[in-house]
Structure 1
Amino acid sequence: MTASPEIQEIAIITGASTGIGAATARELARRGFHVLAGVRRDRDADAIRGPGIEPLILDITSPDHIQALAARVREDPQRRAVRALVNNAAIGVNAPVEVFAIDEWRRLFEVNLFGHIVVTQTLLPALIRSKGRVVNISSVGGKIAGATYGPYASTKFALEAVSDSLRREVAPLGVQVVVVEPGAVRTEMPGRAIATANEIASAMTPEQSQRYGGLVQAITAQTAFYTKSGLPADAAAKVIAKAVTARKPRTRYTIGREAALLPLVRILPDWILDLLFAAALRPHLPEQSK
């Protein structure tokens, strides 16, 4: 599957304001696609707009925005084929299961899962006509979940399951479904997740703070540490572009060392994984929690 600069095909990317999404929009435009880049704000649209990149205001939890996207695709003046949908939009959060409010659980699933399902449902007729491709951006957290990753990882576990089922449903129709699983990547998302974790921690009851305060501090410190050594967003974008353009794509691509180790890690017994997670977290714990 290739795109020609002379005969552009459309690639749609959600969550293209910053980070991996913005880098992927630029990479696919460089490869000759006409990219419809979903962003949340006008200033993000101004920042991403460029040759081959057409920003669209797109909140994937808004039915009106999704219908506007469908109309844009349907009424494309050049009648270009929709070659790929990259479901990338996501919210990152770290919070203990006990303290993450149920309304926030629901909001997280609306963005990280249900929004992608609605966008995919809406665009599947066009993808079936073009025998296009769905690329779902999951995470290392879609395979394994450490402490405080329950909310985020549960959305990614679910996205992995939906991707597997969808792949088997639409393969006979000529549509391929690919999952991309990033590990540590240097983007704005970890910083936003750390800020959210700190907000949640500040609202904990004294009893909850006693139970989880040290853990949250350690997780935020660990996140910052691993993010510094992560891959740049441009490197992640090249992997996603490969998932979009490969003639015979794999069902899954990983990004980064942590994600590449997943197949080996997941065969270990749970008790060993628990020990490994605890050992990796220990250097980041406050002294009073060690």
Structure 2
Amino acid sequence: MTTSHRKELIIVTGASTGMGAATARELGSRGFHVLAGVRRESDAERVRAADLEPVIIDITNPGNIEALAARVAGDPESRPLRAVVNNAGIAINAPVETLPLEQWRRQFEVNLFGHIAVTQAVLPFLRQSRGRVVNISSVGGKIAMGTYGAYSGAKFALEAVSDSLRRELAPQGVQVVLVEPGGVKTEMTGHGIERAQDFVQQMTSSQRDVYGDLMQAVINQAVSFTKSGVSADKAALVIAEAVTARKPKTRYTIGRDAALLTRLARILPDRTLDRITAANLRPHFPKAAAQR
């Protein structure tokens, strides 16, 4: 692919805000016609622009996905689909013991199965155009911190699915690329922090006795992590590179933290990683807990 594009279609899911919205704008500015997936009509009006066409996509809704495929098939200008950016996601952080199974299932439905469903629906078009699947993973797809079991579990699985898909589709001329962001200043991160805070209040008193300090430390760390993260617009530049590069890498990281952590995960023993992650989390514990 080149960046001097005549009109071609690109799908970006989760384009209401954050990295998805920034990626849709960036790709639109490069000459693509972007089908920007949003969940509400109010979001649609906010993102609509000359090269951005909002489409209602809840990636857990089969009817929405069927409508998306029909939109691509019936494009009035017969434009090819050059790429799908599977970006939609949610963050639900809580200890493995305390997170209800329905919340585990919700996390996997959105962050894994929804992406698979969208990919299955659009692969016939990508095969015709020799296009590209770009899956937005996370540094959490390489390292699973405490309370990130559900989120990282889905992201680890997305990494494995992407590796398998890349090997399946290579003979067909369809490329599969992973993007692994670290700290990025997005609304999703803020919503994840809010959900974690709400979850602490929903815990039983015995659960708070065991996990309350850990949850507060993780929340404090996430706030600090996000403040020092890159902007959504900078993250969008990396995603756009993954979409448009003629010979893309199999994986791109976003932010120096992601680049460092993904490398450490490859070379360090588990116990060493345990000590590093514990040391990084320690300053974020409530003072009383840290002194115990």
TM-score range, shorter chain: over 0.9
Tell me what 1:65 maps to.
64
| Paired residue type of 1:278 | A
Query: Contact 2:41/2:56 (CA < 8 Å) preserved in 1?
Result: yes
Tell me what 2:204 maps to.
205
Ranges of 4+ aligned residues in structure 1 off by more than 6 Å: none
Instruction: Map residues 1-290 of structure 1 onto 2, 5 A cutoff.
Output: 1-2=1-2, 4-5=4-5, 7-261=6-260, 262-290=262-290
State the alpha-carbon separation in 2 of the partners of residues 12 and 121 from structure 1: 13
Q: Number of residue pairs matched? A: 289
Alpha-carbon offset, residue 288 of structure 1: 2.3
Query: Contact 1:184/1:258 (CA < 8 Å) preserved in 2?
Result: yes
Q: Which SS does the other structure have where 1:266 is aligned?
A: helix
Q: Which SS does the other structure have where 1:97 is aligned?
A: coil
Q: Which SS does the other structure have where 1:215 is aligned?
A: helix
Alpha-carbon offset, residue 254 of structure 1: 0.3
State the alpha-carbon separation in 2 of the partners of residues 272 and 266 from structure 1: 12
Q: Which SS does the other structure have where 1:249 is aligned?
A: coil
Query: Contact 1:19/1:187 (CA < 8 Å) preserved in 2?
Result: yes
Query: Contact 2:142/2:265 (CA < 8 Å) preserved in 1?
Result: no
| Paired residue type of 1:218 | A
State the alpha-carbon separation in 1 of the partners of residues 153 and 204 from structure 2: 24
State the alpha-carbon separation in 2 of the partners of residues 208 and 288 from structure 1: 18
Query: Contact 1:3/1:33 (CA < 8 Å) preserved in 2?
Result: no
Alpha-carbon offset, residue 4 of structure 1: 4.2
Q: What's the TM-score, normalizing by structure 1?
A: 0.98
Q: CA-to-partner distance for each residue in 1:119-164, whole Å, 9 max, x for gaps?
A: 0000000000000000000000000111011110000000000000
Moved more, 280-289 or 222-231: 280-289
Specify every segment of 5 or more residues in structure 2 that has no aligned partner in the other structure, as ranges: none
Specify every segment of 5 or more residues in structure 1 that has no aligned partner in the other structure, as ranges: none
Alpha-carbon offset, residue 229 of structure 1: 0.7
Query: Contact 2:130/2:173 (CA < 8 Å) preserved in 1?
Result: yes
Alpha-carbon offset, residue 85 of structure 1: 0.3
| Paired residue type of 2:33 | H
Q: CA-to-partner distance for each residue in 1:12-67, whole Å, 9 max, x for gaps?
A: 00000000000000000000000000001111111110010000011000011001
Q: CA-to-partner distance for each residue in 1:183-207, whole Å, 9 max, x for gaps?
A: 0001111110111111111111111
State the alpha-carbon separation in 2 of the partners of residues 41 and 206 from structure 1: 37
Q: Which SS does the other structure have where 2:82 is aligned?
A: strand
| Paired residue type of 2:165 | L
| Paired residue type of 1:171 | A
Q: What's the TM-score, normalizing by structure 2?
A: 0.97
Query: Contact 1:4/1:33 (CA < 8 Å) preserved in 2?
Result: no
State the alpha-carbon separation in 2 of the partners of residues 131 and 278 from structure 1: 45
Say what the alpha-carbon RMSD is for the aligned residues: 0.9
| Paired residue type of 2:137 | S
Q: Which SS does the other structure have where 1:2 is aligned?
A: coil
Q: Which SS does the other structure have where 2:97 is aligned?
A: helix
State the alpha-carbon separation in 2 of the partners of residues 175 and 143 from structure 1: 24
State the alpha-carbon separation in 1 of the partners of residues 189 and 25 from structure 2: 21
